[in-house]
Chains A and B, each alone.
Chain A
Amino acid sequence: MQIKTDLEKPIFLQIAEGIEDAILSGAFEEGKQIPSITEFSITYKINPATALKGINILVDAGFLYKKRGLGMFVTEGAVKELQKKRKEQFYMNYIAVLIEEAKRLYITESEIKSMIESGFHK
């Protein structure tokens, strides 16, 4: 997970996505505690309010939950839910962009398909 201040994406979104990635990859396991706001803040040199905002997005979405006095934990079943959410976004985030660029480069539909296939077989 990396935070880039020169990126157009707001930092709190980068934090939220970074944690999502960590949950998906298993770095943050279901039912286990994630690092504290302070740890996020110091590690990525960001304002604690920003870190909190990023984490709260995931709390609101139900991927994380708060245990009073203990900290933040990954919800059981979060991985599955996240995969579902990411799949829904997959078309907009990747396919739409891919097709747009392909059109600019005059790459045909079949050419793309074969590229994808070869990518899967690597």
Chain B
Amino acid sequence: MYQVSYRYQMCEHRKIIIIYYCILIGVVTALFISSAGIINSGDIKVKVNFNGLDIATIIFLFMLSRYSFSGSFGMMLQNGVSRISLFKSSLLTILSLSFLMAVIDKLIYTAINLFASISGGSLWVSCLFDELYPSLQSTSPTMVIISFIFSFFLYMTFMAGGMFIAVWFYRIGKSAKIAICVGIPVILFIILPIVEINFTGGIITSAFWNMIDFMYGSSAVKPMHSFITGLLLFLLFSGISWLLLRKAVVQNN
């Protein structure tokens, strides 16, 4: 049954993914045209650096995962699919989509940058990998593959995170959901800064960034760290998701 469930989820997502890429390509094209306009209008060489297209993909995949859960859950139970099959198929969907979109994203970057270099380098697109490991910026096949694996693990992590939040929010009550939605920003942006300024002197924040730096091996220039981190976070999020999902029930019966 998980195969049908997998096919269902992939089909459900197909349309929105196509829309996403249409918008993405549209935006990039618009930028390209406008940047070409800048160059043509004057004699000054302007180089437009557009980075973080994969951040868009990360946000997109996170949201997709976050908001597709409850619909799939109801549909599966209506059709006699067990929670374990839904879980298996969700993991498969996450892996497939992460892989697929990492491939598409790499193709888009390569295409844009190729086009940019031909047309005179007016628009340059970089991805998170280039930002994190500037020294590795390279177009060699090995680096392209490593950068691809990096994206793949990153997408996987965020989709699993989205799934975790979806199942978690499904299980807890409305008031708890609101408390979390309000509480986390309050802690992060009000309480934490106050504590940091008055008592700890920024230790927590810098420790946090150091940890992120270590997890992704940015300063050390070790992309391998990010693979391990991605895998561990993916396992962690999926594990908790399963613990929450296995006892999930239809609501207001």
Query: In their complex, do chains A and B touch, with some C-beta pair under 8 Å?
Result: no
